[in-house]
Amino acid sequence: MIGRKEPCASGQLPMTSLSCLSYALEKWTVVEFLKKYLFHVIIGTLTISAILVFFIVPLTIVFFIYLTNILLLIYQRNNELKADPLSDVWNRVRKTIATFWDIYARIWHGYELHGVENLPEGPGILVYYHGAIPIDYLYFLSRLFLWKKRLCLSVADHFVFRLPGLKLLLGVTGVIPGTREECLAALRSGYLVSISPGGVREALFSDESYQLMWGNRKGFAQVALEAKVPIIPMYTQNVREGYRMFKERRFFRQLYESTRLPFTPPYGGLPVKFRTYIGKPIPYDPNITTEELVEKTKTAVQALISKHQTIPGNIWKALLERFDKRRKSD
């Protein structure tokens, strides 16, 4: 009978038949649900977590870059500035931007900069290895400006100038096209000019082996010889451990070669130790050929990589270096 108390299972307290039926149905429903959906729920949760872990930091960097440009526009409007973006009028806001990124660099990557004394007082060309995301280079620009009040102009790929909403930021921070005329004009005006001969190709398709991918790029050497300026090699330790690209696939390589656009998304953002090393300058030599200067520069950059980088790169070691107070010698 409905009101009669009976045990639902051995060892359990007596229950009414109605309660027993309800209990059995509830138990059966829950078990079946867990059997059917729990695996999918776990996989879905892990997938979402992995996506957030892999992409949240790169997306945060993009957000901060655009936020910086918005703040620049507000600053420009409030002060009614119409001056050349490279003029000293912008130094106050440059210092604010540099301070923000330097704090970010210290907190997230324990960033260090070594070898600033190797930079010439006058013009020169800095040549560096290009990571998946050149955030290390942004750290370098920020600290150089804070330490030396010096603006280093940056040669960027043409696609950067197609990105919407960044025109003012690119101008104020000294990002320029890589034309021979632009570079020569900057050097003759006394600026440091930086370039990564590997560029986007190196960013996309190099890996934890830190292979230089310069191809036949030699324009930087031609400009250095014509402007009679030194070339200074530069490299950031663990830059590939902080941010990586998915393993190369033929489709993405062909897509890049045909469009010259970076469709492969970077991932990572782990708080590994970053140290930027500036090497000894390669002085101007009127008796050296362009090809010889390219090889000499490549050898200098490769020497910095060999001296300061574990090959292949190791994420765990790069993370543990955050706790190592002893820095590698310059």
C-beta separation of 36 from 25 below 8 A: no
Q: What is the DSSP letter of 47?
A: H
DSSP 8-state class, residue 146: H
Catalytic residue among 40, 109, 114, 130: 130
H or E element at residue 109: helix 91-109
Cβ atoms of 326 and 111 within 8 Å: the answer is no
Pick the closest to residue 213 from 248, 180, 246 (CA basis): 248
Please report, in angstroms and rounded to a whole number, the separation of the first and last CA atoms in the chain: 89
> Which token pair is 174?
């000294």
Question: ω into residue 286 within 30 of 0, thus cis?
Answer: no
Active site residue 109: no
SS3 content of the chain, % helix, strand, coil (to 5): 55, 15, 30
Residues with catalytic annotation?
A: 130
